Chains A and B, each alone.
Chain A
Amino acid sequence: MPGAALETRLGYILSGHDDIDQASREGLQGLSNYASDRSSAMMGHPDGVTPGKDDLAFYPLLYWPITDDVQEDPKRSAALNSFMAHGGILMLDTQGVGSELSTQDDRQTRSALKRATSGLVVPPLSKLDDHHVLAHSFYLLHDFPGRVQGLPVWVARSGDDSNDDVSPIIIGAGDWAHAWAVDAQGNAPYAVIPGGDEQRTQAYRFGVNLLLYALTGNYKADQMRVPELLKRMAQ
């Protein structure tokens, strides 16, 4: 029995690096707890998956930390394309590359991202701003920090009504898993820089918005139209 069919779980793509996979698991667990405590979403524990091998149909959202050693994989791309085509949201995180704190080589990561997305059907993207539903699907947000902040987040340009105008892909470098992570003792093992607790709260809030976006789509966008609709119905 696939547990993810019976309760709502987030998924993360296994990178093959224990430290990163552990951070992904702790991060999604931290986010699931945070969201379950504050919203009506009831989340189960996250699952680590390998696209092409594991069944992805159960997951509304897949978190994918991009590591420098990621290789091109047509089978993985096909599985992820099918996942996105069936309404799933894939979030790619290059984990802080491009920020002041990063020691990693920019170019190396960029080519890793290129290998990861090779064969993926990526719609035209635009920069996430505070007009997007992701900025008000639960909390009101103006930026979308993770462990680092100030880096752009990319989402599909709006206009795809066949999918309730939901972006099937989100690409960023905020290193959100580390910001959301909660260890076995209930502590946050990774510092968020430079904003400390305030920034971590914002990171969680972005996570909750993301999670509710994955579950309710553009609900918030058409909620704005309800009064107008009711007015029209009165006529």
Chain B
Amino acid sequence: MNHLTFMPLIPVWTIAAAAGIVTLIGAYALLRRVPGSLARLLALLLVLLWLSGPRLSQPVFEPAPQDVLLVVDHSPSMALRNRLDSAEKAAARLQEEARSIPGLTLHTVTVQGGNGHGTRLFDAIDQADLPPGRFSGTVLVTDGMVHDAPANLPSLFTHEKNTLPLHVLLTGKGEETDRRLRVLQAPPYALVGKEAVMRVIVDDLGVPSGQPVTLTLRQGDEKPRQIPAISGQAVDLSVPIHRPGETLVTLTAAPLSGEVSPRNNTAIVRINGVRDRLKVLLVSGTPNQGERIWRRLLKADPSVDLVHFTILRPPDKDDGTPLSDLALIPFPIKELFQDKIKQFDLIILDGFHNAGILPQDYLANIADYVREGGGLLLTAGPEFTQDGTLQDTPLADILPAHVPSNGVVNERFVPALTQAGRRHPVTADLPQPWGPWYRALASDSSHGTPLLAGPGNQPLLVLDTVNKGRVALLLSDQLWLWSRGEGGGGPQAELLKRLSHWLMKEPDLEENQLRASINDNTLHIERHSDSERLATPALLTTPDGRMISVPLKPSGNGLFTANAPTNGAEGLWVVRQDGLTAVAAQTTRNALEDADLRATATILSPLSAKSEGATSWLGSDTSTPQIRQVSSGSLSGSGWIGFPRQLVPVASSSRLTALCPSWLALGGTLVLLFLSWWREGQLRRR
């Protein structure tokens, strides 16, 4: 820092030469004891010192320019109340004020946040990357809900053992309260017909828990259920799953009086309904080629429990072979057709004719099973026109077609899609081409929906609903030819699979279905219809309860679609059309942001205190703290926030102090010369 420097008045060598001569002569004079020679020598050396111009050089300091970082929180939680407005105004006032302070530059960073990462103000401070030395502190204007607050003050806030302040200006009048609903546990899958149990908890933030809360549970179109709960205590809720596919459940906790926002009082839970193992009863008539096909399909599916019933030896073919030689096991027909029939998901009657095999009561049970909601698939061959036909049993009442005794048509034909078949999810877009069949049944009457047509455009595959149940009738025993590859084969497995699922009321295979989904802030509505026109538009209920009418545009084969913008509105969107309801949910995209909506000082004030910064609530005041440049002492006070001023040496400039000024040299020399002269005089007098 301080150092000695010389600024000689004459060239250095002359000074050095003169000093040499002076010293030699002076030394000689001293040896000879010439009186006054010491004082004369010193006088000459002083003159030489003066000529060499010794100076003390000292550095020059000045206040450093100040960089102050202003971080303004624009995260989604700032949209609540008037936080954003208040923050913007405060930021504007600080900027204005900073402009009038010389040497202080206020750098402003706005932080958007959200996108699932919450509010990350400290990341923003890091990224601002202000040069150390000039950086002299930060002001955060925020609601205080910061998700990347470190445990200790970042090293950036320490410069040369000085602490730089972190000032926090909070939007709001003071600590706030918020109620939130959290789903602790919800099964992603649940069995259809069973109840899914989920566990939720209501947290009251900023107030003591233990308050009674009313939860409202909404599921599809059902009447909302009210459930009492206590805040801070987990509650288990049972949700019945009625059908396969997605079930949306909305849970809402009643608002806490005075809470910031009820937006996190709602949770939407998606539960996928899946079927338990399917229980299928296959009843085959005489061993026929179709049987292996059914078995290949059903046995290969691990989710199917198949009970296959066929009669290998009719009573009239008993040739007296001892039973011990036969591998025939009596079938538990009473159990199957009476006691447990209701438990099957699907019954298939494959070329079955009842020549004294089953009591009529059992067939009546099958008809009742269908009426009460079961699914029945019949494939009929020539036996349908012969003695023992199912048309002469109680099943006749639920059959969608009647075949007369001369109804067997032996003819090569390729099954064709009917108009309805092109639209119906069971047959629409079945892979082509299809191989030929050689026999069909011509019905003299039919009702229901024909999906396939046979020879002479006669119904070949007919679907029908009977009370709560469903029936499908295939009027040919030739489906197996597709499986065996005859003429290239056909999509027999796919057709049977879709038929089975339609019979079991799989939502995806309904001929009339309404679907809604949300993607990229757009609500997509898809309506499959069995008719060519839709009489009414779709009625849309937005999450805030507004009703909007949306016309559906036909896009061919019974499909109608529409799109509607959601504008990011979160919550449940309900679409209704022609008695059908579909629900889609725009779920919250910022779980972290929404977890706690309070404005609070609890997160930032410890950090701010460590940095000797201020934490203050902006309130509804129209003023913000004054900015001060502080050289020493406290960094904040009532109504002001300070930033330490630092001094830095001015590069290439220093202050010089002459160590041997002219007056000193002149005076000293005169005194010394006088002294020598006086010494000489003394000796002469002696």
Contact = CB atoms under 8 A, between A and B. Distances in A.
A216 interface: yes
B412 interface: yes
Contacts of B291: 215-217, 219
A78 B487 CA distance: 16
B335 A218 contact: no
B89 interface: no
Contacts of A216: 284, 287, 291-292, 295, 310, 312
Interface in B624-681: none
B332 A212 contact: no
Contact of A42 (B286, B306, B437): B286
Interface in A52-82: 55, 57-58, 60, 82
Given A5-B481, A139-B326, A40 B340 contact: no
Given A42-B286, A162-B300, A164-B300, A217 B484 contact: no
Interface residues on B, range: 35 or more
Contacts of B295: 164, 216-219
A164 B311 contact: no
Contacts of B187: none
Contacts of B485: 57, 82, 86
Contacts of B332: 226-227, 230
Interface string A23-61: 000000000000001111110000000000001011010
B313 A137 contact: no
B312 A87 contact: no
B340 A6 contact: no
B120 to A, nearest CB: 54
B327 interface: yes
Contact of A40 (B299, B317, B484): B317
B319 A140 contact: no
B233 to A, nearest CB: 34
A212 B312 contact: yes
Contacts of B437: 5
Contacts of B288: 8, 215
Contacts of B327: 136-140, 220
A140 B326 contact: yes
A159 interface: no
B286 A55 contact: no
A138 B327 CA distance: 5
Interface in A120-162: 136-140, 161-162
Nearest to B285: A40
B289 A37 contact: no
Contacts of B411: 1
Given A37-B317, A164-B292, A140 B306 contact: no
A230 B335 contact: yes
B331 interface: yes
A234 B340 contact: yes
Interface residues of A, number: 49
A41 B410 contact: no
A7 to B, nearest CB: 10
A219 B328 CA distance: 11
Contacts of A137: 327
Given A140-B327, A218-B299, A212 B287 contact: yes
A161 B438 contact: no
B628 to A, nearest CB: 79
A211 to B, nearest CB: 8
A15 to B, nearest CB: 24
Contacts of B371: none
A229 B281 CA distance: 11
B340 A233 contact: yes
B314 interface: yes
A179 interface: no
Nearest to B324: A140
Interface in B405-463: 410-412, 437-439
A222 to B, nearest CB: 6
A98 interface: no
B305 interface: yes
Contacts of B321: 38, 139
Task: Give the one of A8, A57, A88, A224 with max B CB within 10 A.
Answer: A57
B358 to A, nearest CB: 14
The 10 closest A-B pairs by CB, nearest first: A136-B327, A57-B486, A215-B287, A57-B484, A5-B438, A86-B485, A164-B295, A41-B287, A164-B299, A86-B484
10 contacts: A1-B411, A8-B288, A38-B313, A39-B312, A58-B481, A138-B327, A215-B287, A217-B292, A230-B307, A233-B305
Given A1-B412, A87-B296, A138-B327, 18 more contacts: A1-B410, A6-B438, A8-B289, A40-B311, A40-B312, A41-B286, A57-B484, A138-B326, A138-B328, A164-B296, A164-B300, A214-B292, A215-B292, A216-B287, A216-B292, A230-B335, A230-B336, A233-B343
